Amino acid sequence: MNCLVITADDFGLAREVNDAVEIGCSRGILSAASLMVSAAFAENAVERAIRLPRLRVGLHLALTDAAPTLSPRQIPCLVDQRGRLRSDLVRFGLELAVNEAARAQMRAEIEAQFRAFRSTGLPLDHVNVHRHFHLHPIVAAMVIDIGSRFGALGLRVPREPRRLVESRKFNGRIVEDLCSRLLGRRARRSGVVTPEAVFGLRWSGRMTRERLRLLLENLPCGFWEIYLHPATRNVFPGHAPGYRYVEELGALLDPTNAEALRRSGRRLCGYGDAVGFRPDAAVS
């Protein structure tokens, strides 16, 4: 297998993001997008996805630092004083480990987001999680279990090979790496498709033309994912400070990158196109 998923995250967050997804798919090398079902422009994103049959759409589970799908009154352990899902990930993770009510509410919110995606009528190509909160083992188990009931075909496991990115920045990532390996094993045991690895973690919001070209020209054969955060403006409601959204859209539209993809012989796809694929046990 020699295929590649190029994904735009945060589909539905803002009109600027939705515009970029449509442009990136129709005029560039974008093959997939991950929908935030409770974001302000989710309905607009679904309308665009219906117009783009080539676009594979998955669920971007927003379990932290986002608007919940359920009412805040239904999930008091999960939200802050503003009614948004909490962003204090360390404390939040510890509470999930010891608080049965918090775990029950988390399961309910995950199920609600899967139900909201199902209501769009779009095929569910994949699942990934905002800020990779499914590295938490309890969240991971819930996502895989609930996702299987809703027909999720694939899951992003946030494990990035170091040989093609700036490895000097990786010190102190031992726990992250361990959790991602455990997540990958759990997903594969459950029959969920995962790529060999993904790119976009260390260059999140900074996937320039040159960095994307480096990956397109150097990835070995196999099944991989590269994810970006394209938008038509750098500042919009809900934007992440410092993210170079417009530059990431430019990377998707760059003709040199399209040519590098063509020369690689790699097929653009979604997770569902790789059902049955099993990655190597170790990627570094």
Give the mean pLDDT of 215-224: 93
Give the mean pLDDT of 213-226: 94
Give the mean pLDDT of 159-183: 72
Give the mean pLDDT of 248-261: 98
- What secondary structure does DSSP assign to the chain, as a single string? --EEEEEEEEETS-HHHHHHHHHHHHHSS--EEEE-TTSTTHHHHHHHHHH-TT-EEEEEE--SSS--SS-GGG-TTTB-TTSSBP--HHHHHHHHHH-HHHHHHHHHHHHHHHHHHHHHT-----EEEGGGGGGSHHHHHHHHHHHHHTT--BB------GGGS-GGG-TT-HHHHHHHHHHHHHHHHTT-B--S-EE-STTTT---HHHHHHHHHH--SSEEEEEE---S-S--TTPPTT--HHHHHHHHH-HHHHHHHHHHTPEE--GGGGTT----S---
Q: What is the pLDDT of residue 281?
A: 42
Structure tokens at 219: 């990835």
Report whether pLDDT(38) > 50. Answer: yes
Q: How many CB atoms lie within 10 A of CB 44?
A: 17
Per-chain mean pLDDT for the chain: 92
Report pLDDT digits (tens) over 65-122: 999 999 999 999 999 999 999 999 999 999 999 999 999 999 999 999 999 999 999 9
The one-letter amino acid at 67: A
Report whether pLDDT(158) > 80. Answer: yes
Stated pTM of the model: 0.92
Report pLDDT digits (tens) over 261-271: 999 999 999 99
CA 154 and chain centroid, separation: 11
Terminal Cα distance for the chain, rounded:
19
CA 227 and chain centroid, separation: 7
CATH (one of 3.90.1170.50, 3.30.9.80, 3.20.20.370, 3.40.50.150) for 3-274: 3.20.20.370
Q: What is the pLDDT of residue 278?
A: 58
Give the mean pLDDT of 241-247: 97
Q: What is the pLDDT of residue 208?
A: 97
**Candidate from 19-23, 166-170, 171-175 with smallest mean pLDDT:** 166-170
